[in-house]
Amino acid sequence: MLFKDKFRLHTPGPTPIPPSVQHAMNRPMIGHRSSTCSAIIQESSKRLQPIFGTKQDVLIITGSGTSALESAVSNTVQAGDEVSVVVTGAFGDRFAKLTERFGCHVHRLDIPWGERCTPEELKSHLRQHPDVKAIFMTYCETSTGVLNPIEELARVAREETDALTIVDGVSCIGAVPMEMDAWGIDIAVTGSQKALMLPAGLAFVAVSERAWQVIENNATPRFYLDLSAYRKSLGKQTTPYTPAVSLLFGLEEVLNLIEAQGMDNVIARHRLMMEMTRAGIRALGLPLVATDEAASPTVTSVYGTNDVHVEDLRQTLSAMNVTVAGGQQHLKGQIFRIGHMGYCEPGDILAVIATLEVALKTLNVPVSLGRGVQAAEEVWARV
């Protein structure tokens, strides 16, 4: 008999919460306009800067990652503007839908799901659409487990256009290299419930000086997501509207944990977990969605087979207290996705692979028990 309150959450968000972060969030409530809360907001914004790779303010919004995406659109473009959106999966498609909703003339650069956008593809696209005002990209495409080469894509964007470069980093910032200033990214956003090890409810936005000039002259109506209001309030060590104070307590502790480990070590841990997961999956004979070159350190997507029916496998894993995600849109029922970000370490990957082996055996799929675990262990042992 399994303990129902002891399970392994391995979706690509939400992700597990460290006990020390849970404890921090249980602190007694304080006034959101108090000096204590102001200190948390001001210091957290500064401490987030190295994670984004920027010297700019990191704005803190109470909302989901999608609220940050919408703020990046509503503050920078106007109805009728030409924009380009790199679509490598469901979340690139969400960026396209957002820009369409705000009346933009959207040029989609559609890349087959499971592949990353190459600099050459973006260059060709932008030369066909030289008048775009903004280029929207997804760093980690959560729906496929693909990591786009954002540094190279941002360089192409700056070489080919004067457009703003806007990056959705929701499912990877805090786990992968991000050098917003050095790479020439104008807006980068993320959410709390992924690599930053918090519950959903906070979103983070960093904005370049070039983008602020556009924002200040943009007439698109917005209120709660007006980034200028957040910038002005941060200058007063507060937020324009009531923040999620308990999540701010948790954010303080998350930043303590990241700083104690060191960002380089955080990045290395995520890369190791990706390599372990992929080695284990390959050893079990299951096809991976992304190539090694395109794979994300935060989520691994796996195809089902004639022998492996994805939803049956997910249900079996769930009964064994391991939760993984399914596919989205046309990949629903065809793939499953293993999250390995945030409060996750190599030993957790071994447990997931071991449970996956038993689940496959339970479903009468011909697998050799221990083969996947051994492959993952061999990767870990090389470190």
* Domain match, 167 and 314 both: no
Do 156 and 130 touch, CB atoms closer than 8 A?
A: no
Domain with 267, as residue range(s), is 8-15+262-381
* Domain match, 79 and 25 both: yes
Residue 308 lies in a domain: yes
Of 228, 259, 290, the residue that ends a domain is 259
* Domain match, 162 and 78 both: yes
* Domain match, 87 and 177 both: yes
Preceding amide of 50 cis, omega within 30 = no
Annotated binding site for substrate: 337
In tens digits, the chain (383 residues) has pLDDT values of: 688 888 899 999 999 999 999 999 999 999 999 999 999 999 999 999 999 999 999 999 999 999 999 999 999 999 999 999 999 999 999 999 999 999 999 999 999 999 999 999 999 999 999 999 999 999 999 999 999 999 999 999 999 999 999 999 999 999 999 999 999 999 999 999 999 999 999 999 999 999 999 999 999 999 999 999 999 999 999 999 999 999 999 999 999 999 999 999 999 999 999 999 999 999 999 999 999 999 999 999 999 999 999 999 999 999 999 999 999 999 999 999 999 999 999 999 999 999 999 999 999 999 999 999 999 999 999 98
Of 259, 274, 289, the residue that ends a domain is 259
* Domain match, 328 and 364 both: yes
CA distance 269 to 372: 19
Query: Which DSSP string corresponds to 260-317?
Result: HH-HHHHHHHHHHHHHHHHHHHHHTTPPBSS-TTTB-SSEEEEE--SS--HHHHHHHH
Predicted TM-score (pTM) of the model is 0.96
* Domain match, 185 and 98 both: yes
In this structure, the chain runs to a length of 383
Residue 1, pLDDT score? 66
* Domain match, 318 and 247 both: no
Q: Cα 169–170–172 angle (5° rounding)? A: 65
Residue 102, pLDDT score? 97
* Domain match, 240 and 362 both: no
Count how many domains the chain has.
2
Long-range contacts of 19-26 (CB under 8 A, 24+ apart): 20/253, 20/256, 20/257, 21/197, 21/198, 21/250, 21/253, 21/254, 21/257, 21/343, 22/250, 23/253, 24/249, 24/250, 24/252, 24/253, 25/199, 25/246, 25/247, 25/249, 25/250, 26/246
Annotated binding site: 337
CA distances from 344 to 7, 63, 214, 280, 349 (A): 13, 24, 39, 16, 8
Report the CATH number at residue 335.
Answer: 3.90.1150.10
b/e 278-297 (16+ beta carbons within 10 angstroms → b): bbbbbbbbbebbbeeebbbb
Report the CATH number at residue 117.
Answer: 3.40.640.10
Residue 2 lies in a domain: no
